[in-house]
Amino acid sequence: MSRPRWIAVGIGALAVLLALTPFIPRGDDDEGALRPSGEERGTPDRGLRPANAAGPSRVTPAMRAEIDRVVAAGRRIGRPGTKAGAAAADAVRCADLDGQRYCLGVGWTDDTEADVRARVAAAAGEAARARATRTTTGDLDAAAALARVARMAPAERAAAERAELTAAARAVAKVWLLRHELQGTPLPRGFRARHPEARATDTARATVRRTAADYPRRSKILRWRHAREQNRTYWCGPATMQAIAWGWQDRVRTQRHWARRLGTTRDGTSITDIVRVVNRDTGYDRRRRAGPYIALDVSDWSFRQWRLLMMRHIHDYRAPVVLHPVLRREYYPYLAGDASGHFQVGRGYDKHGRRPLLLGYFEPWNQQRFDPSEPYIARVQWRQAYKSYRANQDHPFHNVGV
């Protein structure tokens, strides 16, 4: 074949390749064992407008009195002569805020204060026993959380607890609406009169409550470039916060910056601190998005309710979820071995046809960074949602940031 003909063939091949480029899948956004299907198409929204979360609630005098009571009860922690067991129990205190229960360090829960205390105490004992043999990735475990509370000076602890409880009180309308719309919990008498910030949120759903069938086949937020592996073994919290804030600001800040904002130590990061910083440093807490982020105990949520929470947050709120699983190989086959509690960024779902629903998330943990002999773990993951649900339920705190 003559040279001019070879040149013509080469130019033609290049033209075909360029024409097909938009249809070639991006490996960066489809990494992992399972590949998502096409973009947001399929089931229509059936005429329902996007859901909007409730705005901030007014902190009533009754709420302030309850906050004062709970804060005052913590002032005896660490006093001379206080037994360690009693100090640990005093650290886990709960407030009744407009009919919903909030427990310090754990979040909104339907469990009793006694049940939460027992759960945290059992988790603290297990964490202390497992530290020598388990890989830790940066979740502040129960034992470290209790020790942190005990080390605080009384005035410092009181200020931190008052701030946490006040922020919780300002989110109580959102808690009621989530439980009402996703779990079927009846709203109390006079709820809308007491919470005008929640009145407009359900006008589109006055007679119809969303189900999974109402959502499109696939939805995702955040771009693959917003994900980075954690720089230190105990920085899954800063890496999670880095991705969430980067998605909002379209500007990257270092994980060291977020570690300072979160108060991360070698013991790790608390989910309540991540929620606090998301509300303070991004706009995902706006009413047209997710409303004030909360730490929500989902131990009594079924998988159907949990997956609907994921769909609502991602598709309706267009806001990421702070996933809080325990890293075990039975849920995450890419792990070289079982590890500790952990944080990930929930950012998509895919109904996957007749196959199990997929959850899309950013995985900060790359074991190969800290041990070159172990397999590489990709940042962008699409995995079975049910396994993420089980990993969330197996974490002793059973909570998510939404």
Which two tokens mark 267?
């013991």
Confidence of residue 118 (pLDDT cuts 50, 70, 90): very high
Residue whose C-alpha is closest to residue 142's, from 165, 161, 119, 110: 119
Higher-confidence position of 355 and 321: 321
The region of weakest confidence among 57-71, 205-219, 327-341 is 205-219
Average pLDDT over residues 105-120: 95
Q: Where are the alpha helices (DSSP H) in 61-183?
A: 61-73, 84-91, 113-130, 142-151, 154-169, 172-183
What three-state secondary structure class fits 97? strand
Residue 343's contacts (CB-CB under 8 Å, 6 or more residues apart) are 138, 139, 236, 237, 239, 240, 269, 271, 274, 322, 323, 324, 364
The region of weakest confidence among 153-162, 202-211, 387-396 is 202-211
The region of weakest confidence among 50-59, 119-128, 271-280, 294-303 is 50-59
- pLDDT at position 32 is 44
Looking at every residue in the chain, the average pLDDT score rounds to 85
- pLDDT at position 354 is 84
- pLDDT at position 33 is 42
pLDDT tens per residue across span 264-311:
999 999 999 999 999 999 999 998 899 999 999 999 999 999 999 999
Q: How many helices (H) and strands (E) does the chain have?
A: 14, 10
Average pLDDT over residues 311-325: 96
How buried is residue 234: exposed, middle or buried, by Cβ count under 10 Å (0-12/13-18/19+)?
buried
Residue whose C-alpha is closest to residue 61's, from 24, 29, 98, 34: 98
pLDDT over 60 at 181, yes or no = yes
- pLDDT at position 77 is 77
Full set of structural domains in the chain with CATH: 61-194 (no CATH), 217-401 (3.90.70.10)
Higher-confidence position of 340 and 27: 340
Prediction pTM value:
0.86
How buried is residue 15: exposed, middle or buried, by Cβ count under 10 Å (0-12/13-18/19+)?
exposed
Residue 200: Cβ within 10 Å count: 12
pLDDT over 60 at 15, yes or no = no
- pLDDT at position 90 is 80
CA–CA dist 305, 28 (Å, integer): 30
What three-state secondary structure class fits 89? helix
Whether 257 and 288 have beta carbons less than 8 Å apart is answered as no
Q: What percent of the chain has a predicted confidence (pLDDT) above 90?
A: 70
- pLDDT at position 226 is 93
- pLDDT at position 210 is 78
- pLDDT at position 52 is 61
* Range with top average pLDDT, 116-125, 126-135, 324-333: 324-333
Whether 223 and 246 have beta carbons less than 8 Å apart is answered as no
CA–CA dist 310, 389 (Å, integer): 10
